[in-house]
Chains A and B, each alone.
Chain A
Amino acid sequence: MNSSTRMVLSAALFIAALFVPQVPALQPYLTQIAFLWVMILFALTWDVLGGQMGYNSFGNILYFGLGMYATAVIQRDLYFTVEEYANVAGGEQAALTTAEYLFGLGLGMGTGALLAVIVAALLGSGILGLRGHYFAICTLGLGIAAGELASGWDYIGAGSGLVTPLLPDALGERGPFFYYVFLILAVIAFLVLRRLYAGQFGLAINAIRDDEDKAEALGLHTTRYKTVAWCVSAFFLALTGGAFGNLVIFIDPTDVAFAGPTFGVWMVLMAILGGKGTLWGPVIGATVFHVTQELFWTYLFGWQRVALGLLIVVVVVFFPLGIVGWMRERWPKRFGEVVDAEARKAQISLEGES
């Protein structure tokens, strides 16, 4: 597959995706399909650190929850006091005009993203100094600590959660509206990451993955690259979280916002399943996982997390390269890797002039 056919194919996929909400047969499933874009965003943003940079984070969910709460709180505080809102939340009385709603949502998501980037920059300079399993477990603690904190903080509803304003009627159903929001976000994230991976940034974080000490010995600003990578990831996750809260309407601190045991683990699994460190891997992994996961939830209710645990073990132990990684090993030429048997065997010579 050369780059132009790939481009045509991607464009066709995108146009098809645009028309999905118009298909009557898919109408009842629009929320589930919107979730697919969220999953893709999860996997893509996780892979920036986990796949491309070799820093396996269990704590990225922090930025998702942060964006979600920031958005919801701004939407609330723009037009209500905390007490008022507690009384009207979710009901007809809380209805906002279209302009109010969109302004609140936009401002909230923007602020949430900014906040997440700031937090990532502050935390990053310290936590990204840890390596290997220390980093993994530290970030695990980070995500859970955030959830516990949110559960105890009254201003954001503590353990009983927070309700977001309802989508005004003029904007139609929640399903199609957020379907487009997440579709656009996912496409932008994909394009931005593709551009970043193609330049110095991409090679620098790959170099950090392969040998961080060597990268430092060559004079790379490793801390800067690592922090920026986390900020990029945090930025898109916070935007996703902000919109996600409005899609599900009810924000629970540990089951929705800082849902480490579900979303937090899924991100990792989806990226690995698809093939970490590749651009399309997370997208494919998220798609495959989302479909499987829906089946789990439908047919294995109550046992779905047993199946999830099993799936993690099986994927990690037997299929660590992931789908795209496996295809790449099998058909390297299709991935633009030149594996010339001649080149591999070629004797190098340093005699004479070159």
Chain B
Amino acid sequence: MTDLLKIDRVCKSFGGVVANDAVSLSVPEGAIIGLIGPNGSGKTTLFNSIVGYHPIDSGSIRFRGEELSALRTAEIARLGLLRTFQQTRIFGKMNCVQNMQISVPHVGDSFMTMWRRFPPEVTERAESLLKFVGLYAKRQLRAEDLSFGQQKLLEFAMALMNEPKALLLDEPTAGINPTLINGLIDRLKRAHAEFGITLFVIEHNMRVIMNLAEYIYCLAHGELLANGTPEQIQNDQRVIEAYLGGH
């Protein structure tokens, strides 16, 4: 497998606080990779660095061989690398179908496509993806009227609508009704299998990540602490200490 995303010695600090210190990792094409670590270990900062939310201090981030660190968020998204937010973000005053429609891939947009109406295929695809995440019955509701968990599912569906090559998910199960978590894991796996999307997932729920990911990286204090298969990580003494031993 080739590396879809390759992160090489990325450093990022805010003021004097080092959030990422020479983090290197790689996400092979077609994989499901997990990223874990205690609170404040720099997971979300790393995600933000990858998708261009802030410039990095040093290092390199390559997606399909292309350097990302000089690109802006929207350009990176159009390359096919998308992220979802820990604090779910959707377009509140628009209904679910509209949220989906505007999430179509924008890579080929030109001044002419700005004016177009959405073709029926787009609406059909939007509705079928809403079915996929169980929101079809609520498709005409304003997104702000959905519960937090439902918004999270909507955001996931919007990401799928965008047809990314890789999806960075920031705590996809946080705030989701526990009875839905198994279903969500199933949907994530199916998105991976059926749409061929590479997944890179931050997750706090150990049961979820061990079930989902085939390979896991663990961050602590901004540095890469350990990496390995779920079994290796589960039995890694350093990981256990990082989680239990505090600081």
Contact = CB atoms under 8 A, between A and B. Distances in A.
Contacts of B85: 214, 217
16 contacts: A203-B98, A206-B102, A207-B94, A210-B93, A210-B94, A211-B90, A217-B74, A218-B102, A219-B162, A221-B74, A337-B142, A338-B140, A339-B141, A350-B182, A350-B183, A354-B134
A246 B187 CA distance: 64
A213 B117 CA distance: 23
Contacts, number: 132
A200 interface: yes
Contact of A344 (B138, B183, B184): B138
Nearest to A223: B74
Interface stretch (B11-19, B21-29, B105-113, B217-225): B105-113
B162 A218 contact: yes
Contact of B114 (A224, A346, A349): A224
A135 interface: no
Contacts of A228: 111, 114
Contacts of A195: 115
Choose among A214, A224, A342 the residue with the greatest number of B CB atoms under 10 Å from its CB. Answer: A214
A224 B113 CA distance: 12
A220 B99 CA distance: 13
B94 A201 contact: no
B207 interface: no
B169 to A, nearest CB: 13
Interface in B61-115: 72-75, 77-78, 82-83, 85, 89-95, 98, 101-103, 105-107, 109, 111, 113-115
B108 to A, nearest CB: 11
B115 A219 contact: no
A211 B140 contact: no
Contact of A349 (B109, B158, B162, B183): B183
Given A203-B101, A210-B94, A211-B92, 16 more contacts: A199-B115, A200-B116, A204-B102, A213-B89, A219-B74, A219-B75, A219-B105, A221-B106, A224-B111, A338-B141, A343-B140, A344-B138, A346-B138, A349-B183, A350-B180, A354-B131
Nearest to A201: B114
B181 to A, nearest CB: 9
Nearest to A195: B115
Interface string A332-354: 00000111101110101111001
A351 B183 CA distance: 6
Given A203-B102, A216-B77, A343-B141, A198 B117 contact: yes
B153 interface: yes
Contacts of A343: 137-138, 140-141
A203 B94 contact: yes
A222 interface: yes
Contact of B91 (A206, A340, A354): A206
B135 interface: yes
A215 B180 CA distance: 27
B180 A348 contact: yes
A228 B110 CA distance: 12
Contact of B141 (A200, A216, A344, A349): A344
Contacts of A354: 131-132, 134
How many B residues are at the interface, by size bracket? 35 or more
B20 interface: no
A217 B82 contact: yes
A305 interface: no
A174 interface: no
A350 B73 contact: no
Contacts of B198: none
Interface string A93-104: 000000000000
B137 A346 contact: yes
A199 B106 CA distance: 14
A327 B113 CA distance: 33
Contact of A210 (B92, B105, B138): B92
Nearest to A342: B137
A216 to B, nearest CB: 5
A349 B134 contact: yes
B74 A206 contact: no
B90 to A, nearest CB: 7
Contacts of A213: 73, 89
Question: 9 shortest A-B CB distances, which residue pairs?
Answer: A350-B183, A219-B77, A338-B140, A210-B91, A348-B134, A214-B89, A219-B106, A203-B102, A219-B78
A334 to B, nearest CB: 14
B107 A214 contact: no
Given A216-B73, A221-B109, A348 B138 contact: yes
